[in-house]
Structure 1
């Protein structure tokens, strides 16, 4: 297994771009972009940054392409607090971290843009503060953020999506293991289930778009809002404005729970 630190990336022929921008607040914003490529032979991939966006997408190259953008409105020495580690092997990892002993804890952000060659399965994409976008890859994926949206499109695998403060969206995925937001809307395709799944928001509307042939048991409920469904074959056992239970296409299992504490719940065909 190979292991590379930020220093390795910078020294190994990485392309660098440095910009100074004047923000509307009058503070100077400095940006530095670096990138490099790594030989990989299949395996899985986890991508993580502590403060910034994560984007994962495919490449026609046979190498793993790693690009990261550092930004600060403090002194440029803040970039010295950034470390990006790349590990290759059966379990590939790209992890950006920021030394918390610096000038201001969140004065530096590190956006990761990772391009994945065919044969590498993406199993994790995570940030504490920022958006997570994953598209056109394969793998049973867990995508999560504390503050930001999660958007997943065209994933060949079963996905789990989480955001504390942000919307959660999934389109054209092989299957769903779960999708949860604390504060935000949840809108996901449900084309396959391999076990019980929860689609839920504490504060936001929730929409589940089901494959027309999906067989499952359904529990749909909201505390403050309305539950509606359309264009699906549903035999109800419980039905009122706030709660619907029943069987989709005659299925008794698995169970899909679609819930909101404060928001409308919609079940519809994809």
Structure 2
């Protein structure tokens, strides 16, 4: 076998090993280990929920129970000792029920934690954060802030004003009282705007923006894209500036400003049909 054949076979073997995952995680990588965590916590009309996760998904939904119910799964491929390094802490201070994951401050711990939380309808959902994972919130109340670094944010049917941010993921906000702020770097933004309290910024770097806006809303509108197109569907806008990539106008009587901008992607502004 000549040198070229040996080199080619070695290169092919490395590709197969990389695809199969055998060399990606190092010699300690093994079978997945799982640890379950569950708990329920007293709640009343004054209870506010806050969640701070480090590495994993967060799902929050309402239910007809009278307690906050938490179910979490810790996962790792590096043995049970690795699982024991991560702790789920739940504290209630001044009516704030805070759920958080605690990792060692220096060590690189290879554990993910996925959470599912059910809240009574009278509980306010406040600040929900994770680093690597999606955030899904539905059928709750409260002026909610949802922040993730690598993951999508999906919020549906919430009685409150929403702030949603992701560094790397889509934002999908439907059937909420209103919107405060929406920002992502890589991912599509799709949202319904029924109301705003102040000026609203919707920002995206790489992705389309699709907005459905209540026609009865009074606001100033600015829509801009660098590499893309702008389209409007049945939005009765008094246009004050019209360019292919930059549109400004007044909706209703005008008022607070809604600024919608993306760098790479189309912007679609549509009349919300309710």
TM normalised by structure 1 equals 0.87
Distance (Å, rounded) in 2 between the aligned partners of 1:150 and 1:248: 28
- Hey, what does 2:89 align to over in structure 1? 85
Structure 1 residue 212 corresponds to structure 2 residue 201: no
Displacement of 1:41 after TM fit? 2.1
Distance (Å, rounded) in 2 between the aligned partners of 1:263 and 1:158: 26
Structure 1 residue 197 corresponds to structure 2 residue 200: yes
Structure 1 residue 266 corresponds to structure 2 residue 271: no
Which one has the largest radius of gyration? 2
Distance (Å, rounded) in 1 between the aligned partners of 2:62 and 2:196: 25
Displacement of 1:100 after TM fit? 4.2
> Which of 251, 256, 259 is the equivalent residue of 1:257?
259
Distance (Å, rounded) in 2 between the aligned partners of 1:233 and 1:92: 44
- Hey, what does 2:4 align to over in structure 1? none
- Hey, what does 1:61 align to over in structure 2? 65
User: What is the alpha-carbon root mean square deviation over aligned residues?
Assistant: 1.3
CA 1:73–1:100 in 2, change beyond 3 Å: closer, same or farther?
Answer: farther
Structure 1 residue 50 corresponds to structure 2 residue 54: yes
Distance (Å, rounded) in 1 between the aligned partners of 2:233 and 2:97: 43
By percentage of residues, which structure has more strand?
Answer: 1
Displacement of 1:119 after TM fit? 1.3
- Hey, what does 1:231 align to over in structure 2? 234
- Hey, what does 2:191 align to over in structure 1? 188
Bigger shift: 88-97 or 180-189? 88-97
Bigger shift: 134-143 or 224-233? 224-233
Cα-to-partner distance string for 1:177-214 (whole Å, 9 max, x where unaligned): 01110111111110111110011101111111101211
Residues 82 and 109 in structure 2, CA contact (< 8 A), matched pair in contact too? no
Displacement of 1:124 after TM fit? 1.2
- Hey, what does 2:158 align to over in structure 1? 155
Distance (Å, rounded) in 1 between the aligned partners of 2:21 and 2:63: 37
Structure 1 residue 137 corresponds to structure 2 residue 150: no
Distance (Å, rounded) in 2 between the aligned partners of 1:215 and 1:195: 12
Residues 85 and 109 in structure 2, CA contact (< 8 A), matched pair in contact too? no
Displacement of 1:25 after TM fit? 4.3
Distance (Å, rounded) in 2 between the aligned partners of 1:137 and 1:265: 29
| Structure 2 unaligned residues grouped into runs of 5+ | 1-19, 23-29
TM normalised by structure 2 equals 0.86
> Which of 151, 166, 169 is the equivalent residue of 1:166?
169
